[in-house]
Structure 1
């Protein structure tokens, strides 16, 4: 598998490590607390056949800028960082795609900078804190697998884990979020290795407790594709339905045989829906240009 090319980009907000792959129009992808390297990312890999993907290591991840103040790890500040990257790259606009907490960043990006986004793809995400009010969420204390997920998450924060231990724990954690856990090896077979930024995850764990931008979703004007697995245990499908109802220019697709990873669990259908979304965008642009 072709490696991603690393670029260390100096911006008005510091230096950021970016991994680039694919051809076509620019598409930004990131995750709120993942730490990427040149092996890439399963979600990002999905888009490299249609776009030139810029996979961003956020502040405190990889070789990117450090946080001088704790607030610089917030979701809003992170979006400001992404805008600085876009401006430095010289793009008038670009697409954005985010999975899980990456999708949460995408929502905030759309609220504040829709003019910078050609389109927005939000997968398995939410516009508000998702644990307290949904027993379908694996992070809700009454979910039957709550404690198992907590144990895995805490164990993965241990900086002393060797690669074998980390890989095993990460796999068992992911299986909790698959519609068919026995297919883990079928989905995750590529040589892709990424880590979690402990400092970013710890900050997010606090920030998410007061996270709710639902009343601002009407400010999102960029075309938005919202995708969720019907059995998503991390960000239950009810939150995607809510976002689709509140974002005017949005399309919701619910995958019937997926949990939190529809881009792997129903990969062919995921690509088909994304291509259809791009075609709809192209048709909308042609109709607008004809006036």
Structure 2
């Protein structure tokens, strides 16, 4: 891993603890640096939630690593591009490379969760020589659909009182029958109301999930703009998986409804130098549901 030191070309000041803003690719981008040790980059999903939930859930990493939490364009404290068509996941991957260059780093170690995983994957495909390790946690994979698995998950939990209201809302949203969110507050409320679906054991873990994910408005602009930009790009990441040369750790919760385990298995099959770790008691948020195992697997991979 890249160790923070006075290596020639490294922008030490830009890696000091705290919040930083930098103008890259026409966007005022925000990132926060926490912890000490080898450098690790964590990229937020691009649909508006920002990196704060990752700063909370992955805080254990700051005990061993200097973690750079990146808010993607239009999310968190990062600003929007002038053209919403430039809100695609590929542009967000390009922002990561621009940040890498700004910091004077030849390579980075990168972690992404959910759609952040797809952004990290895009970076590793576009800039294969500039990533030294990659961690994909319950990651999305453009070009691969596991919609049948998602439908099966919702159907089997429709009568379960821990999930039933969330299942109903999700069905209405995906079918277009319900009133879609129209602003930040409505989108944030919607995500909070379906949060149980992201957990294998909401009775035990929903309060923690709400603590980590639910107190900041989610950007409706980013949600709509990223989805539209990615749909227009028709990006198929499955055909480029072979381009990734760095060691990759793929983490998947057995009970993930939004990025089912079939997605992780497809990535593992396509990335030669990859390891797949399945978390049998987790949904989409394994650091909440199986924290001891999660901490161990992540730290061991980063340290070897």
TM-score by structure 2 length?
Answer: 0.78
Contact 2:118 2:141 in 1 (8 A): yes
SS for the counterpart of 1:78 is helix
Instruction: Specify whether residues 189 and 273 from structure 1 end up closer, same or farther in structure 2 by C-alpha distance, changes over 3 A only.
Output: same
TM alignment of 1:257-268, pairs within 5 A: 257-268=281-292
Q: Which residue does 1:243 correspond to in 2?
A: 267
The answer to whether the aligner puts 1:8 opposite 2:29 as a matched pair is no
Equivalent residues, number: 272
Report how far residue 230 of structure 1 moved. Answer: 0.8
Report how far residue 175 of structure 1 moved. Answer: 0.8
Cα distance in 1 for partners of 2:78, 2:135 equals: 24
The answer to whether the aligner puts 1:108 opposite 2:122 as a matched pair is yes
Report how far residue 40 of structure 1 moved. Answer: 6.1
TM alignment of 1:194-213, pairs within 5 A: 194-209=216-231, 210-213=234-237
Instruction: Specify whether residues 118 and 137 from structure 1 end up closer, same or farther in structure 2 by C-alpha distance, changes over 3 A only.
Output: same
The answer to whether the aligner puts 1:193 opposite 2:215 as a matched pair is yes
TM-score by structure 1 length?
Answer: 0.81
SS for the counterpart of 1:196 is coil
SS for the counterpart of 1:206 is helix
Instruction: Specify whether residues 193 and 118 from structure 1 end up closer, same or farther in structure 2 by C-alpha distance, changes over 3 A only.
Output: farther
SS for the counterpart of 2:277 is strand
Structure 1 unaligned residues grouped into runs of 5+: 283-291
Cα distance in 2 for partners of 1:15, 1:59 equals: 8
The answer to whether the aligner puts 1:26 opposite 2:39 as a matched pair is yes
The answer to whether the aligner puts 1:94 opposite 2:118 as a matched pair is no
Cα distance in 2 for partners of 1:75, 1:235 equals: 17
Cα distance in 2 for partners of 1:186, 1:87 equals: 36
Structure 2 unaligned residues grouped into runs of 5+: 1-16, 159-165
Contact 1:124 1:227 in 2 (8 A): yes
Contact 2:29 2:78 in 1 (8 A): yes
Report how far residue 130 of structure 1 moved. Answer: 5.1
Q: Which residue does 1:173 correspond to in 2?
A: 194
Q: Deviations for 1:121-174, whole angstroms, at most 9, x for unmatched residues? A: 10111323455x53221599978566522657976553355xxx94x6443321
The answer to whether the aligner puts 1:135 opposite 2:157 as a matched pair is no
